[in-house]
Amino acid sequence: MSQQGNDSWRLGLRSIAVLLMLTLSQTWIAPAACGQETTPRFNSAWILPGDRVAWLGGRLWEELAERGDLESILSIRMVGQPIAFRNVGWSGDDVEGRARAVFGSVEDGYKRRLVDLKQADPTVVFVHYGFSEAMDDGWNDQRFDKGLRRLLTDLKPLSYRLVLLQSPPIPAGTRFPEIRRDLCNQKIERFNQVIKQIADQEGMKVLQIPEWTPEMSDDGIQLHAAGYQEFASRFASLLVPGKSQELPGELRVDLKGNGNLSLGDWSLQVIDRDGATGKWRLEEAFAALPERSLDQATSDGRSVRKSRRLVVTGLPSGRYQWTLEGEVIAVGSAEDWAKGIEVSGVGADRQRLALQKTAKEKDTLFMHQYRPQNETYLFLFRKHEQGNNAGEVLAFEKLAKQWDARIQDLSKPKRYTWEWTRVGD
């Protein structure tokens, strides 16, 4: 090869290298500036950009669908990626599909699960079985092995990426009987070994579900409301490593100074002030939403809305109202603001709440599609009465896709306008 040919060859290699570096930097590097609407670092061995994720299993997954915690956290960590979630959890479901039988046979329940997954149309399925089976004396290693192999054999031709989930042990320190717990944990361990063996033989991935503590569950086998929130955070960290910064419970703003506040990924900046008329306008910006919602669940199932405390100094004497995006949130005297006023959250909090609400609504829409409440009249032995309406349930998928787009939009960083305005003496 001539010298000119060598130079052209080297130049081509450099060009390819530069293009690769630019592509990787756009995909993997997090934004440095707070509030930039760019794609943050996203690094997961389990979920890929463009995936439709299906959760398949029993009560654990059905409860997570009703709460929206897991999907909210994952959407925040995977912001900017076109990813959708479909929950096909069903309380009491086992590897044979017994709970899904409804009024039919176990075989009907098994076949229905395949139909449920088809409606979810996933690219990756997280398969969780073995926990409820371990609670049932009728299950042994051979039966579980046979049932799981059959299910995976039927799923493999459908081109789903399959991730097998291993169950955690029942923790000590709950009201679950100790002798019974030991026996169940032995079966959980053996079933986990079955899962690992099958995965190794079939070339599938295995992921161990995070253990939960006694504080997360009253009976050791099902989580309470606060436990589901904690589990969602732990499980999300396995799927997509990383965690966004959480805001402190108290935010202190000094309007007499420059009024700016910077807390890592979150910032507040004065964009206009007029001390003579008593008006200050500020802009809130953040690089990522807080993962913890201000709607915090308690162990008895209640939802408690936490507040944030705004301490504002530097306001001249008088009464001032604080508005967020034009909505009046709180009113108080300058002295009240200097001591601190409890507010129902800042812009990032409101967006986080809206994200979780939308995620729950989307999961409800999908459940109306694959598991309608009136399915006896639509599909089963009374379909002669309303079976002509059965085709309408497919319309729920169109709605769910619209909610997918809303979720992706709500997961993105936005900017919010704050104003303090004098409204009296």
pLDDT in tens, 121-141: 999 999 999 999 999 999 999
pLDDT confidence of residue 268: 96
pLDDT band at 333 (very low <50, low <70, confident <90, very high): very high
- From 286, 415, 289, select the one nearest 358 (Cα to Cα): 289
- Is it the case that residue 24 has pLDDT exceeding 70? no
DSSP 255: T
pLDDT confidence of residue 104: 82
pLDDT digits (tens, 9 = 90+) for 156-169: 999 999 999 999 99
What does R_g of the chain's alpha carbons equal in angstroms? 26
Q: Which CATH architecture has domain 52-243?
A: 3-Layer(aba) Sandwich (3.40)
pLDDT confidence of residue 242: 81
pLDDT band at 374 (very low <50, low <70, confident <90, very high): low
Q: 258 — phi, psi (to 5°)?
A: -85, -10
- From 317, 322, 314, select the one nearest 333 (Cα to Cα): 317
CB atoms within 10 A of CB 295: 19
pLDDT confidence of residue 352: 95
Query: What is the arithmetic mean of pLDDT over 334-338?
Result: 97
In angstroms, the CA 285 to CA 416 distance is 7
In angstroms, the CA 297 to CA 305 distance is 9
- Is it the case that residue 338 has pLDDT exceeding 60? yes
Instruction: List the beta bridge partners of residue 313.
Output: 254
pLDDT confidence of residue 42: 65
Are β-strands 279-286 and 266-274 bridged in parallel, bridged antiparallel, or unpaired?
antiparallel
End-to-end Cα separation, the chain, in angstroms:
87
In a 10 Å sphere around its CB, with 0-12 CB exposed, 13-18 middle and 19+ buried, how is residue 203 labelled?
exposed
pLDDT confidence of residue 369: 75
Q: Is 121 helix (H, G, I), strand (E, B) or coil?
A: coil
Q: 112 vs 336, which has greater pLDDT?
A: 336
Residue with tokens 């099902």: 222
Burial 266-293 (b: 16+ CB within 10 A, else e): bbbbbeebeeeebebbbbbbbbbbbbbb
Residues 6+ apart with CB under 8 A from 372: 378, 393
Instruction: List the beta bridge partners of residue 262.
Output: 267
pLDDT confidence of residue 101: 87
Torsion of the alpha carbons at 222, 228, 231 and 232, rounded to the nearest 10: 140
pTM, 2 dp: 0.84
pLDDT confidence of residue 77: 92
Average pLDDT, the chain: 85
Q: Report the amino acid identity of residue 242.
A: G
Give long-range contacts, CB 8 A cutoff, 24+ apart: 315-321. Answer: 315/255, 315/278, 315/420, 316/275, 316/278, 316/422, 317/425, 318/278, 318/422, 318/423, 318/424, 318/425, 319/422, 319/423, 319/424, 319/425, 320/278, 320/420, 320/421, 320/422, 320/423, 321/420, 321/421, 321/423
Domain boundaries, the chain: 52-243, 245-425
In angstroms, the CA 223 to CA 215 distance is 9
Residues 6+ apart with CB under 8 A from 105: none
In angstroms, the CA 218 to CA 169 distance is 14
Type and span of the H or E element at 333: strand 327-333
